[in-house]
Amino acid sequence: MFAEILLDQKVGKDKDTLTYKIPETLIKSVELGNIVEITLRNRKTRGVIAKFHDHEPTYKTKEILEVAAKAPHLRPWQIELLFWMSDYYFCPAYKILKLFFPASITKKKKLAEWIPHDEILQSNKNLTLTPDQEKAVNTIFTTSKQTVLLHGITGSGKTEIYRRIAENTLNKGQQILMLVPEITLTPQTFQNFQQEFGDNIAILHSQLTAKQKENYWYRIFHGETNIIIGSRSALFAPFKNLGAIIMDEEHEPSYKQDQAPRYHSKDVAFKISKLLNIKVILGSATPSIETYYEAYKGNYELIELKNRIQVNEPTSLPQVTIVDLRDEIKKKNYSIFSELLSEKLNKKIEQHEQAILFLNRRGSASAVLCRECGHIEKCEQCDVALTYHKRLSIEELNLPAERLICHHCGIIKKVPTLCPNCQSAFIRYIGLGTQKIEETVLRDYPKARTIRADRDTVQHRDSFEKIYNAFKNHEADILIGTQMIGKGLHLPQVNLVGVVLADLSLTIPDFRSAERTFQILTQVAGRAGRQGSKGEVVIQTYLPDNYAIRAAAAHNYAGFFEEEMKIRKAFNYPPFSKIVKITLVDAKAEKAHQKAKRLFEILNEENQTPELQNLPTVIALYPAFIHKLQNKYRWNILLTGQNPSLLLKRSHEKNPDDWEDAGIRIDVDPLSSS
């Protein structure tokens, strides 16, 4: 008997596994998915048994040394999932294997002694559901469809439904996976489930230490933890008996990994659902266009919750007002706050209520500009303007009081006093950032206590949890932040949300720009008025007639979906097609362009073959939106059609050498075409 061993390193060209002989002493004890110790290039290492067979190779084979008995191993269905991902996402299997194990488990010679625990979660109390929630839960339990879309407006009580699903799954003796889009949401989700089920919950995300992750891996593998909460990496935990997957805020782009393997959590969850015959519950107030389209066609079970939960008194969606910033300029109001938003902020501060100010950008300003010659300070490594930052917190004392930062490569530069191009002293900061908003609030509302949540203030493992708890406990009056504060947070004392500038995400040249704008505006608006009192939202914009902004202000998902689908159909964008993006990267601009043109020609040639003429693929070649990034130039090739992956596979089979370049990045079902 022989075994194909998969390692977490490259073993050869177009080869995923190495063949090893199974010694007689191990034949009865080895299983598919076992971690085994082997010899490779005269040194011991570890790999996973991916396949058994009795075909003796023509070359001499080494023997498996031993099975790492105490280590969690892969289940057969996980082996199948791994190779499906490798095929679907055009990614070597060894890179995907790394997702399934903490590095400590595959590298350590000696594994910690595992001490079993007997504590199994049970519900501490019965949930009280509204009739709408009860109906939703019953539908989830009885539907024959494996995928359920729970489309509930903000504050409609989706979390209570999730907890009932968890209770039902636990009662069957099964495990449940609760996915959240970002680590920042994990503490809140943990608190919700902890209140119901106690402390024996596994929390999985990328910021865990190796020891923490290894401990959780053991507990899940042995079935001693039955509720698993985490970000996308939690999909690869060693489940003993997984019974259901819940994916909250399913529309969030953070569910897609931006480096190889470039998988989307939703598609991986669907594959697991098929392999284990379990249900996937997708929850969102603003589902992705593709998800809602599948539900609209009847492929998913669609459950809609159109009313907010009534706690002690009626709770309705907030009143939204759109402010045209062009009118503010006509009134000679050059502040970043419109007269209406200023008035409402004053009122909330006087009444000791809380408010959120939202902006889809970090820093104090977007760029530093010379008003004499128009020169903009750019990153030398990336083709983008540097962002101006001003030190505001004690934690930043080790940094210059003023600095320019590239948010793509992290380079920090001093702010010039003179223009490096024309030596003019007329250097000015243009644009707007969260730091600028914070400065303005501190100046105009000195009595207000502020707290800021963006990527600059949330750099440590527990930073966001501290900010969230501080604001929830009313230790601050105004929360200023970027996208992370609009994602599912429950802040019952917030009665005003001000969107300082709604247009930023609309300016990105991408087919999903309108969808992202609608989603983030709807989500952040949903933070207001969640507990009794009437919430208010002020959306400031230079594009008041844009359909995405209008639909968000009216809480009108159906209207937005209808308008967006017309555009998607006219241009044959998803969900009416599938897309694959190939990015060519090189340190030399001309070389990057030449490599891209070469692949473009190869793909076009293959696209004309008789086998593919019935499945035509549109092929486009263009420079990436950020053409130069980290000293490398980038060109994109976009494949659009019913099955562009087939064209890619055929081309790869016929011209393998042309696809070996390390500068080729393949993204199946990309979130952005830019």
Domain boundaries, the chain: 2-107, 131-305, 319-361+432-568, 578-668
**Residue 311 — pLDDT band, cuts 50, 70, 90?**
low
Mean pLDDT, residues 49-78 taken together: 91
pTM recorded for the entire structure: 0.88
Q: Which CATH class is domain 131-305?
A: alpha beta
533: burial class by Cβ within 10 Å (0-12, 13-18, 19+)? Answer: middle
Nearest one of 61, 42, 44 to 53, comparing CA atoms = 61
- Cβ atoms 593, 635 nearer than 8 A: yes
Is residue 597 pLDDT above 90, yes or no? yes
Nearest one of 183, 500, 457, 502 to 356, comparing CA atoms = 500
Position 532 scores a pLDDT of: 59
β-strands 367-370, 427-430 pairing: antiparallel
The phi, psi pair for 242, rounded to 5°, reads -70, 130
For residue 456, give the 3-state DSSP assignment. coil
Mean pLDDT, residues 299-304 taken together: 97
Please list, in sequence order, all residues whose beta carbon lies within 8 angstroms of the beta carbon of residue 548, skipping any fewer than 6 positions away.
506, 514, 515, 517, 518, 521, 560, 564
* CATH of 319-361+432-568 given 3.40.50.300, 1.20.140.10, 1.20.1440.230, 2.120.10.30: 3.40.50.300
Helix (H) or strand (E) holding 447: none
Q: Do the two domains 2-107 and 578-668 of this chain adopt the same fold?
A: no
Q: Which of the pair, 147 or 468, is modelled with greater confidence? A: 147
347: burial class by Cβ within 10 Å (0-12, 13-18, 19+)? Answer: middle
Is residue 210 pLDDT above 50, yes or no? yes
Nearest one of 504, 508, 536 to 520, comparing CA atoms = 504
What whole-number distance in Å separates Cα of residue 114 and Cα of residue 222? 10
Q: Which CATH class is domain 2-107?
A: alpha beta
> In this predicted model, what pLDDT tens digit does every residue of 411-423 receive, in sequence order?
888 888 888 888 9
237: burial class by Cβ within 10 Å (0-12, 13-18, 19+)? Answer: buried
* CATH of 578-668 given 2.40.37.10, 3.40.50.300, 3.30.70.600, 3.90.76.10: 3.30.70.600
Q: How many residues does the chain have?
A: 674
391: burial class by Cβ within 10 Å (0-12, 13-18, 19+)? Answer: middle
> In this predicted model, what pLDDT tens digit does every residue of 102-130 receive, in sequence order?
765 556 555 544 444 444 444 445 567 88
3-state helix, strand, coil in the chain (%, to 5): 35, 25, 45
Position 362 scores a pLDDT of: 46
> In this predicted model, what pLDDT tens digit does every residue of 224-266 receive, in sequence order?
999 999 999 999 999 999 999 999 999 999 999 999 999 999 9
Q: Which of the pair, 79 or 406, is modelled with greater confidence? A: 79
